[in-house]
Amino acid sequence: MTTFLGMPATAPRGVGHLRGDQPFPRAAHDALDNSQLRRNLRHATTTIRGKSGRVIAELPDWQRLRDAGSAIKADVMSRLPSLLVELESRVIEAGGVVHWAADANEANEIVTGLVRRTGSERVIKVKSMATQEIGLNEALEDAGITPVETDLAELIVQLGDDKPSHILVPAIHRNRSEIREIFLRAMPGVDPALTDDPPVLAAAARRYLRETFLSTSVAVSGANFAIAETGTLGVVESEGNGRMCLTLPDTLITVMGIEKVLPTWRDLEVFLQLLPRASTGERMNPYTTMWTGVTPGDGPQNFHLVLLDNGRSAVLADTVGRQALHCIRCSACLNVCPVYERTGGHAYGSVYPGPIGAVLSPQLTGIEDNASLPYASSLCGACFDACPVKIDIPSMLVHLRNKAPHSPAERAAMAAAAYTMSRPRLYASAQRAAKMARIVGRRGRGLPPPLSGWTAGRDLPEFPEQTFRDWWARR
């Protein structure tokens, strides 16, 4: 039997969380009105940046590790189909079952069908971007199955009927007072005298989840990595909830994006050094759980791996844009991005916010459905410097801007500029006319109507007293 990834198709509409209700500029404008949100984001991202910077500085070979991570990911993309077939074979040999999902609809159908066959009406979940991407919780609820998020931040989002706003810290937009109010309102059996002290809040969540862990027979997880040569999967986390989900239930269902595969165990060594330092600012993850298929009498006795495409083949087909598939979901780019720090994650409209979301989401959905996201950046380059696998996000943003649909007015303006710049005499006349902006423009730094909209939020560079052509002619 031959396995096909399918034709490069984008993620389907009407399912999952890859498209927003409004374009980024409008959503960002609304977010900027929320001063509490900006304070929460500034405090959280500043703290994470500081921790991360300190532990990265301890490694003299950090840049070589980044080079190695980038090279491994590029190698994976160059032979992804064969690595996935190898992974499938090894998982089956180890007693697991592999399912191929072309898109979100297929993945949701597979998972809900597997849960129904167990007879369980509830599942516990490990934090997973892939299941958020496909809207699995909504699909489970529609099937009469209750999903329970066990990651603390994801639990806060779920109880608050909210949406995640950060890849690593989904409730980063909430402060502890807001979390207390959510727990009092939505958490069953919570102490009415609950305070907003972080250890007290964590203890309340622990009590709520403990009984759920012990009484639920099905778990759903994502995967940070999968090793093709052995069929081993891995989840790294900081709370221990993941290990409870991965070891206690009888049935484990893992939904994994096809790009997460690594060729060998040796490759994993690199990423287990890069990921914790770039993400949580830790030297190593407190909990690193690896499992290979089924072990009789130990852990889940039924293991299913759902390999998810959902637009990834379309991303892979773009030789520039495929770099987005190198992402290891560390969120380092979010923590250094000046745009994300001011607008938060909800403004992006996708489960993948920040700089990586601005290049990944438009490719998964098709650029037409997320045309404003490649412009959600100042192109400062901080994301490239912070990325542990050296994804060149600024170059991809420019690449996607060139592919995005442009308004008739913008196309006309660019055509006029091209016409002018290709004719020396006309260009010289335009240069002389441009000097008038020093007089007419706002404080000499803007443009007159109808071009004033562009310079309302930007300073126009000062025009020189003398053009190069004038200088050349005089000499």
Q: What is the SS3 assignment for 191?
A: coil
When the pLDDT of each residue in the chain is averaged and rounded to a whole number, the result is 92
More confident residue, 253 or 188: 253
**Rounded distance between C-alpha atoms, residue 350 and residue 27, angstroms:** 12
Residue 438: its pLDDT value, please? 57
Per-residue model confidence (pLDDT) at position 324: 98
pLDDT at 21 over 50: yes
Q: Are 463 and 470 in contact (CB under 8 A)?
A: no
Pairing of strands 232-237, 287-292: antiparallel
CB 136 within 8 A of CB 326: no
pLDDT band at 1 (very low <50, low <70, confident <90, very high): very low
Q: What is the mean pLDDT of residues 98-112?
A: 97
pLDDT value, residue 5: 52
DSSP tag of 356: H
Q: What is the side-by-side strand order in the sheet with 122-125?
A: 97-101, 302-308, 251-257, 218-221, 122-125, 146-149
Note the pLDDT of residue 10: 94
Q: How many residues does the chain have?
A: 475
Q: Is the peptide bond before 450 cis (omega within 30 degrees of 0)?
A: yes
Task: Look at strands 218-221 and 251-257 and give their pairing.
Answer: parallel
Q: What is the pLDDT of residue 465?
A: 77
- At 35-56, the pLDDT tens digits run 988 998 999 999 999 999 999 9
Q: Is 256 helix (H, G, I), strand (E, B) or coil?
A: strand
Percent of the chain with pLDDT strictly greater than 90: 82
pLDDT reading at 111 higher than 90: yes
Q: How confident is the model at residue 469 (pLDDT cuts 50, 70, 90)?
A: confident
Mean pLDDT across 149-170: 92
For residues 17 and 163, is the Cβ–Cβ distance under 8 A?
yes
pLDDT of residue 69: 98
Homologous superfamily of domain range 28-313: NagB/RpiA/CoA transferase-like (3.40.50.10420)
Q: Where are the domains of the chain?
A: 28-313, 412-474
Residue type, 55: V
Residue 260: closest CA among 138, 83, 31, 419: 83
